[in-house]
């Protein structure tokens, strides 16, 4: 099982690149010109997303620095302990949708402090592994094409995140 997965993660990228280049060569596409032509847009796209990223990342940095996540943790800890949910995982549930690197950081802290045998380590591993940073994805993807009216996209993303958290708790309770 391990071997197969290592093989896939090692070969996925090289395989895609080989496939694209080889098909291009057979179809007589001018590889070099086409590549540089497409690559030209890289800078433009990256610069386009800066305003959207600044808005989202600054707001989230302020939110995290304000200590409000700890306040929420203290508020909800007694309620959640009824459902066998360790208080250590509460910050993770909030941060998960806001920032990917922060979520991984919080998870590393939990894992390092509580050790491999603790239930909180397993629960937070599943929570982090099954999530994608909703705010970041929306800022980057909509920012790149200049869309500022998100309609229901954020609502759906956050609801799905919430369902993910509930499922992670249920599945971990059942399996570990």
Select 16 or 81, whichever has its Cβ closest to another protein. 16
Select 81 or 171, whichever has its Cβ closest to another protein. 171
Residue 147 binds another protein, judged by CB under 8 A: yes
Residue 17 binds another protein, judged by CB under 8 A: yes
Residue 75 binds another protein, judged by CB under 8 A: no
Among 18, 55, 75, 84, binds another protein (CB under 8 A): 55
Instruction: For residues 72 and 90, give the distance between their C-alpha atoms in angstroms, rounded to a whole number.
Output: 8
Q: Which of 140, 149, 134, 143 is nearest to 99 (CA)?
A: 134
Query: Which residue is associated with the tokens 């993303």?
Result: 157
CB atoms within 10 A of CB 167: 13
Token pair for 60: 């989230």
Min dist. Cβ of residue 11 to another protein (A): 10
Select 87 or 118, whichever has its Cβ closest to another protein. 118
Token pair for 132: 């994608």
């Amino acid at each position: 099982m391990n071997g197969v997965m290592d093989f896939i993660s090692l070969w996925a990228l090289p395989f895609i690149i080989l496939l694209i280049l080889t098909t291009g060569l057979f179809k007589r596409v001018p590889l070099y010109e086409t590549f540089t032509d497409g690559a030209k847009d890289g800078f433009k796209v990256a610069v386009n997303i800066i305003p959207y990223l600044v808005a989202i990342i600054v707001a989230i940095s302020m939110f995290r620095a304000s200590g409000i996540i700890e306040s929420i943790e203290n508020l909800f800890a007694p309620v959640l302990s009824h459902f066998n949910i360790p208080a250590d995982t509460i910050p993770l549930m909030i941060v998960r949708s806001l920032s990917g690197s922060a979520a991984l950081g919080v998870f590393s802290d939990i894992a390092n402090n509580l050790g491999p045998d603790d239930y909180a380590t397993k629960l937070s591993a599943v929570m982090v592994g099954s999530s994608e940073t909703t705010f970041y994805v929306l800022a980057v993807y909509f920012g790149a094409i200049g869309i500022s009216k998100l309609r229901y996209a954020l609502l759906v993303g956050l609801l799905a995140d919430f369902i993910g958290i509930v499922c992670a708790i249920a599945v971990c309770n059942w399996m570990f």
